[in-house]
C-alpha cells in the first residue's frame, strides 16, 4: 500500500464518529425495529438492506452483516463514514418522527464492515466467479471506478484501472473531510477492492485524447484494446471567480487546498489569522470547518445569497457554527486585495444594498464549484454530453451512446456523493457483465 507521510495536517483531526465497540453496536442495533418496508432502504442510493444488516449485528453475525452491505455497495466501508446519513438513510428512519434519535446507520455500517474485514480478509473474494477472459478498462481510480472494478472482478473479469494521480481513491483520498475519513482509510479500501479479483491499478497514468506523452495513454488505444470501458473521471479543478487579484499565493481553490491538507508533508497554517471561504455549498462548509478545527483563529464563509439558499447541508452548517465558523451572507466578492503580493483582504459587494467593503483576511479559498473533464469522454465516438458538460447515460445501465463505453459518478451527475458513484459503478458493472452474456455477481 502507498505509504503517506506522517506529518500531514489531516492527521491532527480525529474521527468524529469513532468505531463502535461491540456492546455499543449491539445496543444500538437492538433499537432498530427491523422494519419490513423500511424507509431507510428507500433513502439509500445503493439500496442496502439496512434492517437486515442491523439485525445481523444484533445477533452478532458481523460477517453476515457485512455481506449484506457489500452485496449492495462495495464501498460500504467508506460510505459508512462519508455518507451524509442525516439527509439519506438515517434522515428517513422512522424514529425521526417520534422525537427520538434515528438509528446510527452509518456507525453501525462502519462497525460491521471494518470488523468483518478484520476477521476475514477474503470475505468477499470467496464469492468470485471463474475467469471469463474479458478485460475492462476503468478511467479514474475514484469511487465510481472502484465500485465498477470490484463488481466486474467478482464477475470474473480482468480490470485495469488507470489513475492519473499517484494515489487512487479519488476524492475519498484527496477531498473528503478528514474527521470523516482519513486518506489511509481510503487507501485501505482501495486495497480491499484490488484484492477482490484480477484488478490491476495503474497509478500515474493519465488517459488523454490527441497525443500521448510520458505517462499518458490514448482514448483510442483503450477503445481498441478493451472489451468495455468505464469512465469515472469525476470533476476537474476548482472554478475560478474571475476577479482581480485572484491569481497568486494566498488565494486558492478549495478542493485543491483540501487535497494538500490531506496529503502534503509538513504543510502548516501559520500566519493565517483570518480565512475567508467563498461559496455556500458543501465543499465551502468542509474547508471552513477543516480550517477552523485546525486552529485558524477566524474562519468565515462569504456567500452571495442568504443561508436558506445555500446548497450545503443544514446539519453541516449547524456543526460548522459549533466549530466557530461565521457566515457572511449576501456578499459577492469583486476582488482579492494584495499588499506586496500577500493577500490582505477580499473586496465584496452587498448583493442587497450594493454597498462595497473590504474584508480583511490572509487566505481566500474559492469553493464555487469544479470544472468538467468530460471532453475526454466525448472523445469516445458516440458518447454525448449534456448542456452542463455531464456525460449522458442510460440510467438503468449507465451505458453511454457508445455501446462499449459506460460512465458513472461525478462526471455523470455533476457532483453528488460517494454513494451515488458506488451505485453507478455497480449498475454499469452489472450491465457490462450482462452485455457479455454472463451472470452478474
Partner 1 sequence: MADLSIEFCGVKSPNPFWLASAPPTNTGDQVKRAFAAGWGGAVWKTLGNPIVNVSSRFGGVDYGSTRMMGLNNIELITDRPLQVNLDEMADVKKHYPDHTLIASLMVDTREEWHEIIQKVEDVGSDMLELNFGCPHGMCERGMGSAVGAEPEVLKTIVGWVMEKANVPVIVKLTPNVGDIAEPARAALEAGADAVSLINTVKSIVGVDLDRMVPLPVVGNGSSNGGYCGPAVKPIALHLLGQTAKVFPKPISGIGGISTWRDAAEFMALGSTSVQVCTAVMHYGYRIVEDMIEGLSDFLDEKGMDSAMDLVGKAVPQYKDWGDLDLNYHVVADIDPDKCIGCQLCFVACMDGSHQCIHIPGMSDEDKKKAGHVAFPTDVPDRPVTAKGGTPGARIPYVHEEECVGCNLCALVCPVEGTITMVEKRKAPESETWNDRVAAGKDLVPGGLDATRKARGAD
Ligand X SMILES: Cc1cc2nc3c(=O)[nH]c(=O)nc-3n(C[C@H](O)[C@H](O)[C@H](O)COP(=O)(O)OP(=O)(O)OC[C@H]3O[C@@H](n4cnc5c(N)ncnc54)[C@H](O)[C@@H]3O)c2cc1C
From the number of C-beta atoms within 10 Å of its C-beta (0-12, 13-18, 19+), residue 414 rates as middle
- Give the strand pairing for 331-339 and 342-350: antiparallel
C-alpha 260/C-alpha 219 separation (Å) is 29
Q: Give min distance, CB of 355 to ligand X, in A.
A: 31
Give the interface segment with partner 1, choosing from 57-65, 146-154, 181-189, 386-394 (CB under 8 A). 57-65
* Stretch binding ligand SF4 (CB under 6 A), from 35-43, 61-69, 182-190, 342-350: 35-43
Contact flag: residue 106 with partner 1 (CB under 8 A) = no
- Nearest distance, CB of residue 211 and partner 1, angstroms: 52
33 near ligand SF4, rule: CB under 6 A: yes
CA pair distance 65, 344, nearest whole angstrom? 53
Secondary-structure percent of the chain, ordered helix, strand, coil, rounded to 5:
40, 20, 45
**Rule CB under 6 A: which of 98-157 touch ligand SF4?**
103, 105
Q: What is the DSSP string of 227-244?
A: SEEEE-----SBPP---B
Q: Which stretch binds partner 1 (CB under 8 A): 17-25, 86-94, 240-248, 324-332?
A: 17-25
**Residues 232 and 142 sit within 8 Å (Cβ to Cβ):** yes
Q: What minimum distance in Å lies between the beta carbon of 174 and ligand X?
A: 7
Q: Which is nearer to ligand X, 345 or 415 (CB)?
A: 415
Judged by CB under 8 A, the residue of 64, 102, 106, 142 near partner 1 is 64
> Looking only at Cα atoms, what is the longest distance across the chain?
68
Distance, CA of 90 to CA of 35 (rounded, Å): 13
Least distance from C-beta 15 to ligand X, angstroms?
13
Q: Count Cβ atoms below 10 Å from residue 89 Cβ, excluding itself.
A: 27
Q: Minimum Å distance from CB 90 to ligand SF4? A: 7
Nearer to partner 1, 73 or 173 (CB): 73
Question: Could you say whether residue 38 binds ligand SF4 (CB under 6 A)?
Answer: yes
User: Contact, 154 vs 126, CB < 8 A?
Assistant: no
Nearer to ligand SF4, 35 or 267 (CB): 35
Site for ligand SF4 contains 50 (CB under 6 A):
yes
Does 30 interact with partner 1 (rule: CB under 8 A)?
A: yes
- Could you tell me which of 255, 283, 253 has the C-alpha nearest to residue 417? 283
Closest approach, Cβ 59 to partner 1, in A, equals 4
Contacting residue, 5, 7, 14, 22, with partner 1 by CB under 8 A = 22
Residue 50 beta carbon to ligand X: minimum distance, rounded to whole angstroms: 17
Q: How many angstroms separate the CA atoms of 158 and 175, rounded?
A: 28
Compute the least distance from the CB of residue 31 to ligand SF4, in Å: 7
Contact of residue 93 among partner 1, ligand SF4, ligand X, none (CB under 5-8 Å per partner type): ligand SF4
List 4, 13, 25, 32, residue binding ligand SF4 (CB under 6 A): 32
Does position 175 interact with ligand X (CB under 6 A)? The reply is yes
Distance CA 261, CA 7 (A): 10
Choices 93-101, 105-113, 227-235, 341-349 (CB under 6 A): range interacting with ligand X: 227-235
Please give the backbone phi and psi of residue 217, each rounded to the nearest 5 degrees, phi first. Answer: -130, 145
Sites for ligand X among residues 386-405 (CB under 6 A) = none
Interior/surface letters 419-432, b for 16+ CB within 10 angstroms, e for the rest:
bbbbbbbbbbbbbb
The three three-digit cell numbers of residue 201, written as one number: 491499478
Out of 104, 144, 193, 243, which residue is the one contacting ligand X (CB under 6 A)?
144
Cβ closest to ligand X, residue 332 vs residue 423: 423
Closest among 23, 424, 34, 19 to 231, alpha carbons compared: 424
Distance (Å, rounded) from C-alpha 208 to C-alpha 173? 23
Using N-to-C axis directions, what is the helix angle for 22-31 and 50-58, rounded to 10°?
130
Residues that bind ligand X (CB under 6 A): 82-83, 139-145, 162-165, 170-172, 175-177, 180, 206-207, 232-235, 255, 258, 283, 286, 373, 376, 409-411, 416-419, 421
Chain residues in the site for ligand SF4 (CB under 6 A): 32-33, 35, 38-40, 50-51, 54, 93-95, 103, 105
Amino acid at each position: 500500500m502507498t505509504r503517506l507521510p506522517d506529518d500531514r495536517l489531516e492527521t491532527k483531526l480525529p474521527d468524529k464518529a469513532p468505531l463502535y465497540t461491540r456492546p455499543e453496536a449491539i445496543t444500538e442495533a437492538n433499537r432498530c425495529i427491523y422494519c419490513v418496508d423500511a424507509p431507510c432502504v428507500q433513502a439509500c442510493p445503493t439500496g442496502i438492506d439496512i434492517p437486515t444488516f442491523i439485525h445481523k449485528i444484533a445477533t452478532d453475525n458481523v460477517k453476515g452483516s457485512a455481506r449484506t452491505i457489500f452485496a449492495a455497495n462495495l464501498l460500504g466501508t467508506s460510505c459508512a463514514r462519508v455518507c451524509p446519513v442525516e439527509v439519506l438513510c438515517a434522515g428517513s428512519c422512522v424514529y425521526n418522527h417520534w422525537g427520538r434519535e434515528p438509528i446510527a446507520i452509518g456507525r453501525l455500517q462502519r462497525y460491521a464492515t471494518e470488523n468483518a474485514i478484520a476477521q476475514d480478509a477474503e470475505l468477499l473474494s470467496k464469492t468470485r466467479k471463474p475467469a471469463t477472459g474479458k478485460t475492462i478498462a476503468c478511467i479514474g481510480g475514484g469511487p465510481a471506478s472502484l465500485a465498477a472494478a470490484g463488481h466486474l472482478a467478482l464477475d470474473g473479469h480482468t480490470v485495469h484501472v488507470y489513475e492519473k494521480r499517484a494515489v487512487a481513491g479519488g476524492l475519498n483520498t484527496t477531498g473528503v473531510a478528514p474527521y470523516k475519513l482519513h486518506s489511509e482509510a481510503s487507501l485501505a479500501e482501495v486495497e480491499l477492492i484490488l484484492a477482490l479479483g484480477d484488478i490491476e491499478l495503474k497509478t500515474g497514468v493519465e488517459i488523454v485524447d490527441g497525443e500521448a506523452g510520458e505517462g499518458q495513454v490514448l482514448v483510442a488505444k483503450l477503445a481498441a484494446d478493451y472489451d468495455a470501458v468505464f469512465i469515472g473521471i469525476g470533476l476537474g479543478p476548482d472554478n475560478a471567480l474571475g476577479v482581480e487579484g485572484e491569481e497568486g499565493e494566498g488565494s486558492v481553490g478549495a478542493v485543491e487546498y483540501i487535497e494538500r491538507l490531506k496529503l502534503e508533508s509538513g504543510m502548516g497554517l501559520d500566519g493565517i489569522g483570518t480565512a475567508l471561504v467563498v461559496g455556500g455549498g458543501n465543499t465551502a462548509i468542509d474547508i471552513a470547518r477543516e480550517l477552523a478545527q485546525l486552529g485558524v483563529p477566524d474562519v468565515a464563509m462569504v456567500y452571495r445569497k442568504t443561508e436558506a439558499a445555500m446548497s450545503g447541508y443544514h446539519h453541516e452548517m449547524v456543526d460548522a457554527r459549533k466549530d466557530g465558523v461565521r457566515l457572511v451572507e449576501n456578499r459577492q466578492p469583486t476582488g482579492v486585495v494584495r499588499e506586496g503580493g500577500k493577500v490582505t483582504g477580499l473586496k465584496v459587494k452587498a448583493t442587497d444594498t450594493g454597498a462595497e467593503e473590504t474584508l480583511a483576511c490572509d487566505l481566500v479559498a474559492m469553493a464555487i464549484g469544479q470544472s468538467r473533464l468530460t471532453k475526454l469522454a466525448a472523445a469516445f465516438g458516440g458518447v454525448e454530453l449534456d448542456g452542463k458538460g455531464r456525460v449522458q447515460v442510460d440510467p438503468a445501465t449507465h451505458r453511454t451512446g457508445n455501446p462499449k463505453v459506460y460512465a458513472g459518478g461525478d462526471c455523470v451527475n455533476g457532483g453528488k456523493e460517494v454513494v451515488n458513484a458506488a451505485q453507478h459503478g455497480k449498475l454499469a458493472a452489472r450491465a457490462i457483465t450482462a452485455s457479455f452474456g454472463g451472470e452478474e455477481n
